């Protein structure tokens, strides 16, 4: 059996599962009407079309919300809706999700129907206010749900099924032996853009204007939102991203063409990493620094030069974002050192842009191996972002602090919170108490890479790298494979970078085969000396330089013998 087949076997991909994974079928998509309230939403939109009501798409300022908004704007135009606008909240004015003030402003726009994307499931009072003002609300969302649904026309959220039928699902997938096969939606980890796309598929069954198959041109947006929202790349998500990347390579959108150009992404080589590390950060920079409307305008631009102008503006913003992020990160490290005994880091300061602190929280988690909350103090109020890993749920920790916060919520691994500045110390104690109450063990081991196979360098070939590429798109739930090689002799060590923070090691295995492994911003123990023996965990890739192609590896973890 080849090394590639060993990797597939380690992932449980054999037989039919192997073929289905390597060749994701878009046509295997699930019936959208199995999602809660989908029929009610379609009925209401059909009525809105017949009388050409004014509809406002209430989006969100992250990429999931922006792509979902664009999906509905494009699709509604195809279906013949003539009076549709988007409302994207400003992170620094409205904050996340629906607000009563925004609802009232939308009413002043003359809307009679609001369709939310990527928000709304917990917006009870906002939806009540919309109803009072004569507006119906259709919620499309994928975040946490309330025990009792808000008074909307429809709340289309796959997580409702998990709340109502917890024993029928395992890892967001309907159990194979479930008696509810055919009556419950089979996969619950759709992103916001994925839920919006299901609404489009449902509308296609009732409305003319977007013939079956033409909705595939929306998959470039679906792929972008899915990857950047870090949902599980399994089932429908995998198929949507797999085919969406192919659509993106030939996208009709001037905005995405321009964004790939300024980000130096070759459309023919675009992959999930391109979305997560090149396109995504540039789009998010707009909402983090000013307003996400710039990113929406780029996605919607029909003129190439106008699209390029927006894309270049996003590129400049992203450079500014990185600079601000570095300053905050360095200041946060100084503060984090004071709480080195805490299992959960909570750091805060004035002047920390709360559009950026989520990234800083992720970097602190990576550095210290601890769930992290980073807060910006804004007078008497503080707003923060959390990042977590393993078995510690940031969202549950926030809920355990309900009595000392103003509001908060999100996912297990990423969440947001607002609280009185005076309560920050109490919040720090509460989330650390919550961590201890969970009696979690060996959490930091979960951050170490898991190798699926142990191999010699002789098997790490260009052919293997090509085969591994067939497992794309990589991401949450489908990580890039990690190889492990043991008893390696360090032949050479090269420090790189302005601060010598990167390292390239030349290693030789027991058979005399050599391989170079590179680590960026490497921890000190990665700088092994020539003559030492080590065990390495790494991901192989192709390095192209001056027309030469060589197999190298990205070093993930190193242990000395």
Residue 171: count of CB within 10 angstroms of its CB: 11
Residue 301: count of CB within 10 angstroms of its CB: 21
Pick from 411, 345, 358: which is nearest to 384 by CA? 358
In a domain, 272, yes or no: no
In a domain, 77, yes or no: yes
In this structure, are 457 and 442 located in the same domain? no
**Distance, CA of 244 to CA of 250 (rounded, Å):** 10
In a domain, 180, yes or no: yes
Tell me, what's the pLDDT at 47?
Answer: 98
Tell me, what's the pLDDT at 504?
Answer: 96
Tell me, what's the pLDDT at 1?
Answer: 61
- The domain tally of the chain equals 3
In this structure, are 460 and 431 located in the same domain? no
In this structure, are 94 and 203 located in the same domain? yes
In a domain, 261, yes or no: no
Tell me, what's the pLDDT at 452?
Answer: 92
Rg (CA), the chain: 24
Name the pTM for this structure: 0.91
Pick from 218, 222, 197: which is nearest to 35 by CA? 197
In this structure, are 113 and 32 located in the same domain? yes
Kind and range of the H or E run holding 42? helix 38-50
In this structure, are 199 and 345 located in the same domain? no
In this structure, are 348 and 397 located in the same domain? yes
CA–centroid distance for 272 within its chain: 11
In this structure, are 431 and 504 located in the same domain? no
In this structure, are 442 and 473 located in the same domain? no
Tell me, what's the pLDDT at 461?
Answer: 96
Of 446, 478, 510, which marks where a domain is finished? 446
In a domain, 41, yes or no: yes
Of 188, 211, 234, which marks where a domain is finished? 211
Tell me, what's the pLDDT at 49?
Answer: 98
How do 345-350 and 372-378 pair as beta strands?
Answer: parallel
Task: Read off the pLDDT of residues 60-118 as tens digits, 9 standing for 90 and up.
Answer: 999 999 999 999 999 999 999 999 999 999 887 777 789 999 999 999 999 999 999 99
In sequence order, the 6+-apart residues with CB closer than 8 A to the CB of 333 are 364, 367
Residue 107: count of CB within 10 angstroms of its CB: 18
In a domain, 486, yes or no: yes
In this structure, are 120 and 33 located in the same domain? yes
In a domain, 89, yes or no: yes
**Distance, CA of 197 to CA of 373 (rounded, Å):** 32
In sequence order, the 6+-apart residues with CB closer than 8 A to the CB of 495 are 502, 503, 527
Q: Which residues of 326-336 are buried (b: 16+ CB within 10 A; e: fewer)?
A: eebbeebeeeb
Tell me, what's the pLDDT at 52?
Answer: 98
Tell me, what's the pLDDT at 184?
Answer: 97
In this structure, are 543 and 489 located in the same domain? yes
Contact 231, 189 (CB under 8 A): yes
Pick from 116, 188, 192: which is nearest to 154 by CA? 116
In this structure, are 436 and 461 located in the same domain? no
Q: Distance between terminal CA atoms of the chain? A: 29
Low-confidence ranges of the chain (pLDDT < 50): none
In this structure, are 390 and 477 located in the same domain? no
> Among all chains, which residue has been given the structure tokens 């009679």?
112
In a domain, 285, yes or no: no
Per-residue H/E/C for 212-245: CCHHHHHHHHHHHHHHHCCCCCCHHHHHHHHHHH
CATH of the domain at 348: 3.10.310.30
User: Domain containing 504: what range?
Assistant: 453-560
Of 163, 193, 211, which marks where a domain is finished? 211
């Amino acid at each position: 059996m080849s090394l590639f087949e060993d990797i597939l076997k380690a992932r449980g991909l054999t037989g039919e599962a192997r073929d289905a994974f390597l060749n994701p079928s878009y046509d295997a998509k699930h019936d959208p009407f199995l999602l809660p309230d989908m029929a009610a939403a379609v009925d209401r939109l059909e009525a809105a079309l017949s009388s050409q009501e004014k509809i406002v798409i209430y989006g969100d300022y992250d990429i999931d919300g922006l792509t979902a908004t664009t999906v509905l704007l494009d699709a509604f135009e195809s279906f013949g809706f003539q009076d549709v606008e988007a409302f994207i909240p400003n992170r620094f004015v409205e904050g996340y999700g629906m607000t009563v003030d925004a609802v009232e402003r939308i009413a002043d726009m003359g809307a009679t129907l609001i369709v939310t994307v990527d928000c709304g499931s917990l917006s009870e009072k906002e939806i009540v206010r919309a109803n009072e003002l004569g507006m119906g609300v259709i919620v499309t969302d994928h975040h946490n749900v309330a025990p009792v649904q808000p008074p909307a026309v429809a709340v289309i959220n796959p997580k409702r099924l998990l709340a109502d039928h917890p024993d029928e699902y395992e890892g967001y997938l309907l159990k194979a032996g479930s008696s509810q096969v055919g009556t419950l939606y089979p996969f619950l980890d759709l992103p916001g853009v994925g839920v919006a796309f299901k609404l489009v598929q449902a509308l296609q069954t009732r409305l003319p204007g977007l013939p079956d198959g033409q909705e595939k041109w929306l998959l470039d947006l679906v792929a972008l939102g899915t990857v950047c929202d870090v949902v599980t790349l399994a089932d429908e998500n995998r198929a949507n991203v797999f085919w969406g990347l192919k659509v993106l390579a030939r996208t009709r959108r001037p905005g995405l063409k321009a964004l790939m150009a300024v980000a130096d992404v070759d459309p023919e080589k675009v992959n999930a990493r391109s979305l997560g590390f090149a396109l995504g950060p540039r789009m998010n920079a707009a909402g983090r620094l000013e307003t996400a409307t710039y990113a929406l305008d780029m996605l919607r631009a029909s003129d190439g030069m106008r699209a390029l102008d927006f894309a270049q503006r996003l590129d400049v913003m992203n450079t500014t974002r990185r600079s601000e992020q570095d300053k905050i990160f360095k200041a946060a490290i100084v503060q984090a050192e004071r709480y080195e005994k805490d299992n959960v880091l909570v750091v805060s300061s004035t002047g920390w842009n709360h559009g950026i602190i989520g990234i800083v929280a992720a970097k602190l988690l990576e550095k210290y191996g601890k769930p992290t909350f980073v807060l910006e103090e804004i007078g008497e109020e503080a707003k923060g972002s959390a990042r977590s890993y393993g078995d510690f749920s940031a969202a549950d920790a926030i809920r355990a602090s309900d009595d000392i916060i103003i509001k908060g919520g999100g996912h297990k691994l990423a969440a947001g919170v607002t609280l009185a500045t005076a309560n920050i110390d109490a919040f720090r104690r509460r989330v650390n108490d919550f961590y201890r109450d969970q009696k979690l063990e060996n959490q930091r081991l979960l951050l170490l890479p898991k190798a699926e196979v142990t191999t010699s360098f002789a098997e790490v070939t260009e052919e293997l790298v090509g085969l591994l590429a067939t497992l794309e798109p990589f991401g949450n739930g489908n990580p890039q494979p990690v190889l492990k090689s043991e008893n390696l002799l360090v032949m050479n060590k090269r420090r790189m970078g302005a601060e010598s923070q990167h390292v390239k090691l030349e290693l030789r295995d027991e058979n005399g085969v050599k391989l170079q492994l590179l680590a960026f911003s490497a921890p000190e123990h990665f700088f092994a000396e020539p003559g030492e023996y080590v065990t390495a965990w790494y991901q192989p890739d192709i390095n192209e330089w001056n027309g030469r192609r060589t197999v190298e590896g990205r070093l993930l973890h190193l242990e000395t013998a």
